[in-house]
Structure 1
Amino acid sequence: MSAARWDDLKIRMISGALMALAGMVAVFLGGWYFGALAVLAAGLMVWELAGMMGAGQAAVPLGTLAAVSLFSASMIPPGAAQLLLLAAPLAGACAIRCDRLIFAAYALAILIAAHGLYWFRLENGGVWLFWLILVVIASDVGGYFAGRLIGGPKFWPRVSPKKTWSGTIAGWIGAAIVGAVFISFTTAGIDLIWISALVALASQLGDITESAIKRRKGVKDSSRLIPGHGGLLDRFDGLLGAALMMLLVALFVTVPSVRI
């Protein structure tokens, strides 16, 4: 087995562990600690997205506008807040010459996820955000190792050449195991197992979506924000997809209240 297949493992594990730790501490503390992290991360991701999409000098103002509008939205009722979340996507669509709809849709997805997670944490406690983070980690780790150990047919070679079906399925299995563990100490039913796998699929699609945008724009990383390992979008693209799916499922499924 070639050592080159594992050459990114160390930096991947270190960067992933540090960001997961920071996220989990913020989730545990909740309130403005988690809100501040959500605002900062969303603003930086919109800045990265604008840079990839060719916004040039408008990238920093767009990222700032996203952060300010998200912070302002947290101060008012959720229904009225959604209009504020449109500010940066619409401004970016005006400032960017190509692929305006892609920017607007992706930027809005980032802001909806950040805003939704903030209110979800306030209303349902931190346990389900820990579950979300662990589902994404299990999917990512399971997919990484299965993809390199087993290999096999590619999941979507035109968009994500490295992702295999073996890694994809291993990610679903890892997420389902996380769901089974959470069933043991919460009032969630057996449905949490397939919901966990569904959220893992959304995480994988989030990763593929960002890969497709980077391939379309001819860039390797969303930014150089994380030394040697790209930007926040490169690290949180999966979490973005998973968060949107969790928030969607929560519209139709009663979320058991488990406080920490």
Structure 2
Amino acid sequence: MSNLQLRIISGVILAAVVLTLTWLGGVPFRFLAVLIAGAVFYEWTRMTRQAPARGLELLPEALMAVLLVALALGVPALTFLALTLAGVVILIAFGVARGTGQWDAAGLAYASLSGFALAYIRGADHAGFLAILFLFAVVWTTDTLAYFVGRAVGGPKLTPAISPGKTWSGAIGGTVAGVVAGVLVVTLAGTGNQGLAGLAALLLSIVSQIGDLFESWVKRRHGAKDSSQLIPGHGGVMDRVDGLVVAALALYVIGSLAASPDSPAQGLFGG
């Protein structure tokens, strides 16, 4: 089986699983968010550490385990955020005391907030379902069209030092397509303001591409080609969700400001 065939098969299976859990929402989707957060943390530490952790060096894993349990239990949003902040502060102090840097603290924040944003946007109601579909449509369309437009048009590189394959034409083309996809979701759903949806989609599209570049920078900084080999033909979980999770956090902030930290989707699609 060729790598392309393997990539297509695993991609179809992965998409089917994710969309099924998205439709179910509630506990099933929350556990998907837990798996994503755990995998992201595993891949982050795998890339950023020079040697396997032992003894007290496993403190980040212990703190991440606490956060994963809290996420699985669906504790109130502000409680989870407080636990995350406490964990990050502990790891910053731990890193300073041992002179080992702050990659573990950054990884804890990145992984935990990734799962948190996805889980709390989706929730268990119809508004959460629409909000996640909106997020998926914007990010996935941006990513796909950025690739094809960049390949077809070419032109100046976006960030040659970080990701040599990305171009300005691809970034712009992906953004335009992402905005169209987001507005289309809102139109078909018959809820929300199309103008505001377009502005939100524009922000999410840009943020998702920044998230993609951020992961590329982390990999390049540590000499890694892929974050791992957990997904056959695709590399790691971070390679697939780098833009999605950052955009999810941005959407969570927008929704929580419009509604509440525990029901952000109500501020987006609750009307």
Same fold (TM > 0.5): yes
Q: How many residues align?
A: 252
Matched, 1:255 2:255: no
- Cα distance between partner residues in 2 of 1:146 and 1:201: 16
- Cα distance between partner residues in 2 of 1:14 and 1:64: 35
Determine the structure 2 residue equivalent to 1:116.
117
- Give CA deviations for 1:123-179 in whole Å, capped at 9, x if unaligned: 642111011112111011101111111111111111111110111011111111112
Judge conservation of contact 1:26–1:34 (CA < 8 Å) in 2.
Answer: yes
**Compared CA separation, residues 91 and 57, structure 1 to 2 (3 A):** farther
Matched-pair identity in %: 35
- Specify which of 212, 223, 236 is matched with residue 231 of structure 1: 236
Judge conservation of contact 2:114–2:245 (CA < 8 Å) in 1.
Answer: yes
Point out the more displaced range, 56-65 or 70-79.
Answer: 56-65
Larger relative contact order (Cα-Cα within 8 Å, sequence gap ≥ 6): 2
**Compared CA separation, residues 129 and 198, structure 1 to 2 (3 A):** same
The offset of 1:113, in angstroms, is 2.7
TM-score by length of 1: 0.85
Judge conservation of contact 1:26–1:33 (CA < 8 Å) in 2.
Answer: yes
- Cα distance between partner residues in 2 of 1:110 and 1:16: 22
Whichever residue aligns with residue 84 of structure 1, its letter is L
CA RMSD for the aligned pairs?
A: 2.8
The offset of 1:75, in angstroms, is 4.0
- Give CA deviations for 1:53-74 in whole Å, capped at 9, x if unaligned: 1163339954574244222244
The offset of 1:91, in angstroms, is 6.4
Point out the more displaced range, 91-100 or 136-145.
Answer: 91-100
Alignment gaps of 5+ in structure 1: 1-6
- Cα distance between partner residues in 2 of 1:36 and 1:27: 11
Judge conservation of contact 1:221–1:231 (CA < 8 Å) in 2.
Answer: yes
Once superposed, which parts of structure 1, at least 4 consecutive aligned residues long, lie more than 6 Å away?
A: 95-99
The offset of 1:10, in angstroms, is 5.8
**Compared CA separation, residues 84 and 128, structure 1 to 2 (3 A):** same
- SS at 2:69's partner residue? helix
Matched, 1:149 2:152: yes
Whichever residue aligns with residue 32 of structure 2, its letter is L
- Cα distance between partner residues in 2 of 1:23 and 1:67: 23
